[in-house]
A = this chain, B = another copy of it.
Amino acid sequence: MTEAEFLAALRALPLHPGARGLLDDTAHLDGLILTTDTIVEGIHYLPDDPPADVAWKLVAANLSDLAAKGAVPEGVMLNYPLRAVPPAKAGVQLGDSTNDAYSSVTIAFPTGPRPSPGRETGWDEAFVSGLDIALRTFAVRLLGGDTVSLPVNAPRVIALTAIGRAARAPLRAGAREGDALYVTGTIGDAGAGLRIARGESGPADLVDRYRRPTPRLAEGKALAPSAHAMMDVSDGLLIDAARMADASGLGVTIDLAAIPLSAAYRAFAGDDRAARIAAATAGDDYELLLAAPAGIPLAARATPIGAFTAGTGLTLTDGGTPIPLPTTLGFQH
């Protein structure tokens, strides 16, 4: 099934009211906000990425969803696979570590190239160290989790569930006609960081924006009371703004010239239309996107970059002049 088909099938299951129709990034229960994200080796991170960065990003991506609801993180639960190291006798798997008698079953898996010893040895230790740093940095604590065995060579699949508290959580679908669209921080730094991580020359602090994003927890908490709608920017500013407008039954106009770029980004990629489109369609920013009345004072810094309008779809302007949409608005699932 495709993701869209799978989600449609899930929506036909008995849904909790706190699931909000599976239309938001979080679930709501008793004043608690719950969100979960999974990362897969080779899909969301590369086998050679530093494990501590993988842990950081897993925590940050989850906390970013809490930030977008104005929530204060309370705790996280971790689902972690311990991968079997290549055994002397191929095909023998390590035992199980959840509650299941299937665990004693021995199954041979396709064996491809062996993981290099440098990747396997110490990966778990380094991941836990990175988790420790991330938890301490964001003042969040471990609530529980589950550890399972993974066959040799299987890509790691690591899940984290984050739980926070929020008095009032703005949804993705809440923008009103005439609201301004605001974004926190600067856009495009992580996308530039990915390009630098892949070999282009550029400053290391952009790579840090990519590898160690900062969830905007303080900003989210401060902005939530004023926000009619809020979500994090993870797949690209344009696509995420279009999703907020769509969920709210509105159209949205964004002015490319208003999108905040960092000095480091401008030094790396320039400041022309192409550079601005690249920034607005790259992912992994983990900034917050919100709909709020135009002109009201906000309790945290955010840049107005557009407006919600009657109608549907995304309209792009550059200094007020309408321009064609790029072929890709961001990452599409």
Contacts and interface: CB of A to CB of B under 8 A. Distances in A.
A155 to B, nearest CB: 5
A interface SS class: mixed
Contacts of A16: 74-75, 141-143
Interface of A: 1-3, 6-7, 9-10, 12-16, 18-19, 22, 26-27, 29-32, 34-40, 42-47, 57, 61, 64-65, 74-75, 77-82, 93, 95-105, 107, 109-113, 124-125, 128, 131-132, 135-136, 140-151, 153-155, 157, 159, 161, 163, 190-191, 194, 210, 232, 234-235, 282-284, 331-333
Given A18-B143, A27-B143, A109 B155 contact: yes
A12 B333 contact: no
A105 B74 CA distance: 33
Q: Which 6 A-B pairs have the closest CB atoms?
A: A110-B112, A99-B234, A101-B283, A27-B144, A157-B157, A16-B141
Contacts of A18: 75, 143
A47 B105 CA distance: 12
Given A2-B82, A77-B27, A150-B40, A15 B142 contact: yes
Contacts of A105: 42-43, 46
- Give the number of times this chain occurs in the complex, counting copies: 2
Nearest to A283: B101
A324 to B, nearest CB: 22
